[in-house]
Structures are given as structure tokens and as C-alpha cells.
């Protein structure tokens, strides 16, 4: 997501940002906690909503240009460890399936050199243009590890229909922009492909392919953690259900059930654990009413939540919140949990998407 929240708030204000997240069915918790896993489809949707909310026809590219290089992560540190650009691109193509399902990198040879392609999933009724366009500056940043900070390709091509914005995007990026291709595409010459790394430390400090596989497959095998993060995002939208979760994780329902069974879990087990832990946190750290907490957890009736919580903890929600408050009063100030934030002003309490 990068600088999208900051960019959108600067472009059209806080309420505009909140409306975009509501429309994309994403809680603003993903802004405060970067560790939350956001499915690829939801990323595409929030970029579409940011463009719609801001009214900026180049929103995706501008957000991409505002991104700052950060921690490359295990698989990209492995990729930039290639001695030449061609070796680095081969590493990217190998590591990408371990990192994320759906997107695919490939290098297609041409008479002049090659074209680097990046294909992403297509989702029905979701505008993919701005998410695709925000990726372009990141791809260029990767290539510039070998080709220099000022390098630009002869042209850029994206995988969306022509819509008349090509000149605008070309002016912003500084190179001709095409649309209507099979993928996000960047041409490279033979000399580009043979270019050595500009930072020898990348090769010296890069992890091995074995380390990359172990690191990434460890994360993928922890299906319960991935499912729990997804459920937490979807609870308030009443989108819970194993079919919905499997679609968001881009695996079949039976495959999800089998992987959960290997971990000794079921979808219902994970859902219940997420609801219980989030309920405990909300009762301990906020001043939301029991009804507000119930609805935020996907319950249609507060009474159903009260019965479920009593079954989990042996205490009613109000009794639990009171016990937490009493316990906090006996702790030294230096180790107390932060006090619950003040209630929102009446004119903001019912604002959709307000944090």
C-alpha cells in the first residue's frame, strides 16, 4: 500500500480517505498496523477507490512515484544478489511464486534484447489501472540497482485498455507510455541484461535460494495466521465464511480445509479465536459499547455476542471490561496499558469509516 493513505489524505482530506477505505471494504487498522496481511484483490480495490475519491486520473502512478525504497525483504534481497541484471530477473521469476500467488514475472527474448513482463490477476468489476500503474516505479527502482538511478526504458506498456491517459502518464514518468498490452512490460537491451550490480554488498549479503524457500514457505505453511489476518479484515463487513476466505486466499475450499486440518484447525476454530481475541482487545483498550463491539465482530445481535463471549471466558463482556479496569488500577503506572481513548464527538460517532 505504501504512501497511499498519506497521499490520499493530502489530496482530498481525511473524510475522503475514510470513504475510500469503506468503499474498498478495508478497515483503517491496515494503515496503523502494516503487519496486517492485505489480499491482492483488496490492494487492487483500494487503489481504484483512491483514484475515484481523489478524482486524479494519474493517482496510481503518483502514489508509486511517492514510494520510498524500504526493506527489500528476503526474496528481493536474494534477487538483487544476482551478479548481472539477467541473473537478477531470473531470481525474481523463481522467487515470486513463493512470495505471492497470482502475479507472475517472465523475460521474453527479442532481437534487440528482451522484454520484462509482470502479469497480475484480473478481477471482475474492479478497475485495475491504478494498481498496475503504481507498480511501474517500483519495477524501475529494482532495475536501477543495475542500470543506474537515472535510467529510463524506451517505453512502458501496461495491461489495461487504452483510455486516453497515455500522454499524461508519459509526462509524469518521462518516457513513452503504452496501454493494451498483455502485461506490464519494460524493454531491455542486451547490454542492459549484461549490466553488473552497482552494489557489490547486495551479492555478498544476499540470502541463498534455500534460505529464501525456507523463509517464504514457512509463512505460507502457517495457513492459520494468514486466515486469521484475513478474517480480522473482513469481520465488520459481514464477509465471514469459508468460501469467501478461500476466494480471497486464492485457493479452493477443499484445499483450505485440508491445510487447516493438517494444522489441527478448522475454519470455525480460527474464526472463533479471532473473534475472542479481538473482543478482549476492544473491551480492554476502547470505550466502545457491547453492541458496537458485537457489530464490529460480525454479529447481527449483541445478545449472540454476549453469549459467545461468556462461553469463551466465563464472564459477560461488561464484567470482563470492569475486571480489566480494576486490575489496571492496581498496576504501577509504568506498566499499565494505555488508557482507552476518549469517546468520539457526537458529530463523528456515526460517520462511516471513522477510526
The reply to whether 303 falls in a domain is yes
Which residue shows C-alpha cell 465471514?
240
Residues 110, 33 within the same domain: no
φ/ψ region of 310 (left if φ > 0, alpha if ψ in -120 to 50, else beta) reads alpha
User: Domain check: are 112 and 19 in the same one?
Assistant: no
Poorest-pLDDT segment among 29-43, 210-224, 297-311, 324-338:
324-338
pLDDT, tens digit (0-9, with 9 covering 90-100), for 87-114? 999 999 988 877 766 789 999 999 889 9
One domain, residues 116 and 80: yes
> What domain count does the chain have?
3
Assess if residue 62 is contained within a domain: no
- The grid cell for 279 is 473482543
Q: How far apart are CA 353 and CA 26, in angstroms?
A: 9
Pairwise CA distance, residues 58 & 54, whole Å: 10
Q: Which one, of 185, 184, 60, 168, lies nearest residue 122 by Cα?
A: 184
CATH number of the domain within which 242 lies: 1.10.10.60
pLDDT at 8 over 80: yes
265 and 229 inside one domain: yes
- All residues at 6 or more sequence positions from 229 whose CB lies less than 8 Å from its CB, including other chains: 36, 37
- Higher confidence at residue 168 or residue 278? 168
Which three-class secondary structure state does DSSP give residue 71? coil
Statement to judge: residues 94 and 208 lie in one domain: yes
User: Which among 99, 173, 163, 112 has a CA at the least distance from the CA of 141?
Assistant: 173
Q: What is the pLDDT of residue 33?
A: 64
pLDDT at 228: 83
Residue 138 within a domain: yes
> Is 8 part of any domain?
yes
106 bridge partner residues: 117
**Does residue 182 fall inside a structural domain?**
yes
Q: Same domain, yes or no, for 13 and 115?
A: no
Alpha helices in the chain (DSSP H): 4-12, 14-23, 29-32, 40-54, 59-66, 73-79, 85-99, 129-147, 166-173, 190-194, 200-205, 209-221, 223-234, 242-249, 253-262, 267-285, 290-296, 302-313, 317-329, 346-349
**Residue 15 corresponds to which cell in the numbers above?**
473524510
Q: Residue 167: its pLDDT value, please?
A: 97
What pLDDT does 220 receive?
Answer: 53
Domain boundary at 163, 194, 215, which?
Answer: 215
Which of 215, 242, 273 is the C-terminal boundary of a domain?
Answer: 215
Q: How far apart are CA 234 and CA 298, in angstroms?
A: 9
Q: Is residue 113 in a domain? A: yes
pLDDT at 328: 60
- Domain boundaries, position 83: 73-215
* Residue at 208 is within a domain: yes
Say if residue 236 is in the same domain as residue 197.
Answer: no
State the pLDDT confidence band at 247, using cuts at 50, 70 and 90: confident
Q: 29-50: per-residue pLDDT in tens? A: 677 665 566 777 888 999 999 9
DSSP for 148-216, please give it: -TT---S-EE-SS---S-HHHHHHHHTS-EE-S-SSEEEEEEHHHHHPBPS-HHHHHHPPPHHHHHHHH
Cα 54 from chain centroid? 20
Amino acid at each position: 500500500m505504501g504512501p497511499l493513505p498519506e497521499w490520499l489524505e493530502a489530496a482530498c482530506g481525511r473524510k475522503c480517505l475514510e470513504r475510500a477505505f469503506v468503499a474498498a471494504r478495508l478497515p483503517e487498522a491496515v494503515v496503523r498496523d502494516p503487519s496486517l496481511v492485505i489480499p491482492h484483490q483488496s490492494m487492487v480495490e483500494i487503489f481504484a477507490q483512491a483514484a475515484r475519491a481523489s478524482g486524479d486520473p494519474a493517482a496510481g502512478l503518483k502514489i508509486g512515484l511517492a514510494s520510498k525504497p524500504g526493506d527489500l525483504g528476503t526474496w528481493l534481497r536474494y534477487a538483487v544478489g544476482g551478479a548481472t541484471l539477467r541473473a537478477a530477473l531470473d531470481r525474481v521469476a523463481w522467487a515470486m511464486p513463493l512470495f505471492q500467488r497470482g502475479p507472475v514475472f517472465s523475460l521474453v527474448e527479442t532481437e534487440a534484447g528482451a522484454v520484462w513482463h509482470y502479469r497480475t490477476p484480473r478481477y471482475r468489476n474492479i478497475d485495475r489501472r491504478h494498481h498496475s500503474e503504481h507498480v511501474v516505479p517500483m519495477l524501475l527502482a529494482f532495475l536501477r540497482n543495475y542500470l543506474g538511478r537515472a535510467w529510463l526504458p524506451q517505453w512502458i506498456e501496461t495491461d489495461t485498455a487504452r483510455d486516453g491517459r497515455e500522454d499524461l502518464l508519459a509526462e509524469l514518468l518521462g518516457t513513452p507510455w503504452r496501454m493494451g498490452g498483455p502485461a506490464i512490460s519494460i524493454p531491455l537491451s542486451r547490454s542492459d541484461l549484461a549490466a553488473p550490480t552497482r552494489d557489490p554488498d547486495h551479492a555478498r549479503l544476499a540470502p541463498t535460494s534455500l534460505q529464501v524457500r525456507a523463509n517464504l514457505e514457512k509463512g505460507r505453511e502457517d495457513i492459520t495466521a494468514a486466515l486469521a489476518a484475513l478474517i480480522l479484515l473482513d469481520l465488520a463487513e459481514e464477509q465471514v465464511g469459508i468460501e469467501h476466505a478461500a476466494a480471497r486466499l486464492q485457493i479452493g475450499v477443499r484445499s483450505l480445509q485440508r491445510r487447516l486440518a493438517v494444522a489441527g484447525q478448522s475454519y470455525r476454530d480460527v474464526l472463533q479465536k479471532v473473534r475472542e481475541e479481538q473482543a478482549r482487545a476492544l473491551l480492554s483498550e476502547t470505550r466502545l459499547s457491547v453492541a458496537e463491539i458485537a457489530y464490529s465482530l460480525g454479529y447481527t445481535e449483541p445478545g449472540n455476542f454476549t453469549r459467545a463471549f461468556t462461553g469463551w471466558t466465563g464472564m459477560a463482556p461488561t464484567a470482563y471490561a470492569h475486571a480489566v479496569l480494576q486490575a489496571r488500577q492496581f498496576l504501577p503506572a509504568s506498566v499499565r496499558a494505555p488508557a482507552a481513548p476518549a469517546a468520539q464527538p457526537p458529530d463523528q460517532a456515526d460517520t462511516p469509516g471513522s477510526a
